[in-house]
Amino acid sequence: MADSVQELTGAEQVFWDLSDLYTGSDDPAIERDLAAAKTQAEQFAAAYRGRVASLNANELADALREMETLQEHMGRIGTFASLQYSTDTLNPAFGALMQRVQEAGAELQQILLFFELEWATADDDQANITADPALARWRHYLESARRYRPHLLSEAEEKILTEKAVTGRNAWQRFFTEVVSGIEYDLDGKKVPQAIALRQLYSPDREARIRAADSVTAGLRTELKTTTFIFNTLLADKASNDKLRKYPTWISSRNMDNEISDEAVEALVSAVTSRYDIVARYYTIKRRLLGVDELFDYDRYAPLSDSDSRYTWDAARDVVLDAFSKFHPTMAEIAGEFFDRRWIHAPVVKGKRGGAFASPSVPSHHPYVLVNYTGAGRDVATLAHELGHGIHMYLSRPKGALEAYTPLTTAEMASVFGEMLVFDDMMAREPDPAVRMSMLAGKIEDAFATVFRQISMNRFEHAIHATRRTQGELTTEQLNAHWMETQRQMFQDSVTLRDDYGIWWSYVSHFLAVPGYVYAYAFGELLVLALFNQYKREGAAFAPRYLDVLAQGGSDKPENILARVGVDLTDPNFWQEGLRAVEDMVNRLEALATEAGR
């Protein structure tokens, strides 16, 4: 049941229906399917072990079809277990199933490891077989697998790493999720989930914002010793793995997964950090508009207008579907399925994972979306964001289990584009100039959160990985110091960060679950800002080409896929267009403020 302090929106009963996967944790079909998948994996290994490098094109195509089927079977089980667990991380049965599936998945992975290892280490003459038309469906997958050749270990070593990850890295990540999800925050005399406390940071009442920020700090502090230990453990684990695999830097493995070079990521980071002046300028303007002498960390998201637009779940649905329909009817049709067929989990409930996400499930099935919906305008944007992911996942399903999934960089493209469509539409609907100015400020802050804040968090990650590798275990105080230093570099002197804000690194799951992830948000936001400007110039003709890009999934290099809409990711100046778009929004806000005499 939703917490009693949550305002009713109609989202309280919006639960996804997982019954088309399995009926529950005790569904006997789960164990039956796990056993069948293991048998299938063993048969696959018996048929192909030691032969991969000598297969002809048709034989390799047959093997890849079998591999896709295996990925589908395990993916369905894993999807059910992880989605169920995310709705109640405190439920022992849900946690037990997650662990069971992870262990089974690791066992299957060990059986199948030989395939990619044999292919990756095949000589170059054999690798040229990918040019055969019989392998066209999997060409990018096959070529990408060989990129890892310098970083692969022996099959025996890979098996050990896979097995130990279950009780090592994966277990610590699960523990972190349960610890953070289990924190209750004391706010105005009630125990509330994190989503409710964080929502109050957007209150027009400054005292309410202060109480909310203090509540979050107090809640995080109760588990600070534990989260510090978990961070240190996983930082050391990654350093060990990177050393074994001979990755030159802590971020290299993530960049390889994202199909982007270390140099290109460094160019992105340098471009964003060189424009921190945009952040400082904006918050200087905001301080003036709020009429305060000093802007503190709890003021960052304060609305410029006391008018706080609220959206019921039905209203949010209408806003999103209408905006998507204006862009292209296919977008609205797919998004409508998420609502109509119960592919969304929306209420704020105790034990539920915080934040929001979209899960691709498997290509033969359909994606799912999780949000923590409270009725605020930004929740509508979050819903659009995750549905953008969902549409991307839905359209790419025909590419199959080996090529449907995109690297993280382009994975954020559809989500941010969905947000932009909804924001534009909401702005056009709003008649009140004061509210419009507040909405624009909110959008700027969302862009900052996605571009500048994520890069500042990348700088935090860089600092803590470097420190852990060169100086050993970090204290809480060292983690706090790195967080504050990288945050202050972004805000410069425009926002005063209280010492309490120093521990707010401790609930960010991406640092642990997907090290190096965060720069992908900045990549996606700046990419979309450039794409959106192109859409504004081209109009309706742009929409089908954009949907075609989404339908490609991960079947080619990102630069080749995006070339379909005229984007050149190899241009070192590309990021400047997105940054100029952010600066233009700040210019627009300042002009509106001047017109309003503020």
What is d(CA 179, CA 42) in angstroms, rounded to the nearest whole number? 37
pLDDT of 5 higher than 60: no
- What pLDDT, on a 0 to 100 scale, did the predictor assign at position 263? 87
* Burial group, residue 246, by CB count within 10 angstroms (0-12, 13-18, 19+): exposed
pLDDT of 238 higher than 90: yes
pLDDT of 4 higher than 70: no
What is d(CA 265, CA 253) in angstroms, rounded to the nearest whole number? 12
Nearest to 507 by CA among 201, 176, 215, 192: 176
CA distances from 105 to 30, 364, 493 (A): 13, 19, 49
The residues pairing with 370 across neighbouring beta strands, listed in sequence order, are 345, 357
Mean pLDDT, residues 210-217: 97
Phi-psi sector, 258: left (phi>0), alpha (psi -120 to 50), beta: alpha
Q: Where are the beta strands (DSSP E) in 312-469?
A: 344-345, 357-359, 368-370
Tens of pLDDT, residues 259-316: 988 888 998 999 999 999 999 999 999 999 999 999 999 999 999 877 667 899 999 9
Q: Are 335 and 395 in contact (CB under 8 A)?
A: no
Nearest to 426 by CA among 466, 459, 488, 383: 383
Confidence of residue 79 (pLDDT cuts 50, 70, 90): very high
Confidence of residue 62 (pLDDT cuts 50, 70, 90): very high
Kindly state the DSSP code that residue 531 receives in the 8-state scheme: H
What is the domain partition of the chain in residue ranges? Answer: 28-173, 313-446+524-570
Mean pLDDT, residues 563-570: 84
Mean pLDDT, residues 201-212: 95
What is d(CA 211, CA 426) in angstroms, rounded to the nearest whole number? 30
**CATH-assigned architecture of domain 28-173:** Up-down Bundle (1.20)
The residues pairing with 368 across neighbouring beta strands, listed in sequence order, are 359
Question: Which residue type sits at 579?
Answer: L
Tens of pLDDT, residues 577-597: 899 999 999 999 999 888 877
The residues pairing with 358 across neighbouring beta strands, listed in sequence order, are 369
**Mapping DSSP to helix (H, G, I), strand (E, B) and coil, where does residue 116 land?**
helix
Q: CA-based diameter of the chain, in Å?
A: 77
Q: Are 201 and 209 in contact (CB under 8 A)?
A: yes
pLDDT of 2 higher than 60: no
CA distances from 271 to 267, 274, 449, 452, 572 (A): 6, 5, 16, 10, 9
Encode 396-440 in three state secondary structure: CHHHCCCCCCCCHHHHHHHHHHHHHHHHHHHHHHCCCHHHHHHHH
Confidence of residue 451 (pLDDT cuts 50, 70, 90): very high
Q: Are 99 and 22 in contact (CB under 8 A)?
A: no
What is d(CA 549, CA 560) in angstroms, rounded to the nearest whole number? 10
Tens of pLDDT, residues 146-171: 999 999 999 999 999 999 999 999 99
Regarding the domain delimited by 313-446+524-570, which CATH topology (the fold level of the hierarchy) does it fall under?
Neurolysin; domain 3 (1.10.1370)
pLDDT of 109 higher than 50: yes
**Mapping DSSP to helix (H, G, I), strand (E, B) and coil, where does residue 322 land?**
helix
Mean pLDDT, residues 340-360: 94
pLDDT of 121 higher than 50: yes
- Residue 130 sits at φ, ψ, to 5 deg, of -65, -15
User: Tokens 């905001």 appear where?
Assistant: 286
Tens of pLDDT, residues 467-519: 999 999 999 999 999 999 999 999 999 999 999 999 999 999 999 999 999 99
Q: Can you state the angle between helices 408-429 and 519-538, rounded to 10 degrees?
A: 50
User: Tokens 């400020």 appear where?
Assistant: 441
Mean pLDDT, residues 236-244: 97
The β-bridge relationship of strands 368-370 and 344-345 is parallel
Mean pLDDT, residues 45-64: 96
- What pLDDT, on a 0 to 100 scale, did the predictor assign at position 307? 65
What is d(CA 123, CA 528) in angstroms, rounded to the nearest whole number? 40
What is d(CA 526, CA 395) in angstroms, rounded to the nearest whole number? 23
59 C-beta neighbours (distance < 10 Å), count: 16
Tens of pLDDT, residues 369-400: 999 999 988 899 999 999 999 999 999 999 99
Token readout for 591 is: 């002009």
pLDDT of 1 higher than 60: no
What is d(CA 347, CA 336) in angstroms, rounded to the nearest whole number? 18
Encode 65-95 in three state secondary structure: HHHHHHHHHHHHHHHHHHHHHHHCCCCHHHH
Mean pLDDT, residues 333-344: 98
Q: Are 526 and 575 in contact (CB under 8 A)?
A: yes
The β-bridge relationship of strands 185-187 and 190-192 is antiparallel
In this prediction the pTM is: 0.85
What is d(CA 251, CA 156) in angstroms, rounded to the nearest whole number? 25
Tens of pLDDT, residues 414-436: 999 999 999 999 888 888 888 88
What does the radius of gyration of the chain's CA atoms come to, in whole angstroms? 24
Contacts of 285 (CB under 8 A, 6+ apart): 586, 589, 590, 593
Confidence of residue 543 (pLDDT cuts 50, 70, 90): very high
Confidence of residue 248 (pLDDT cuts 50, 70, 90): very high
Mean per-residue pLDDT of the chain: 93
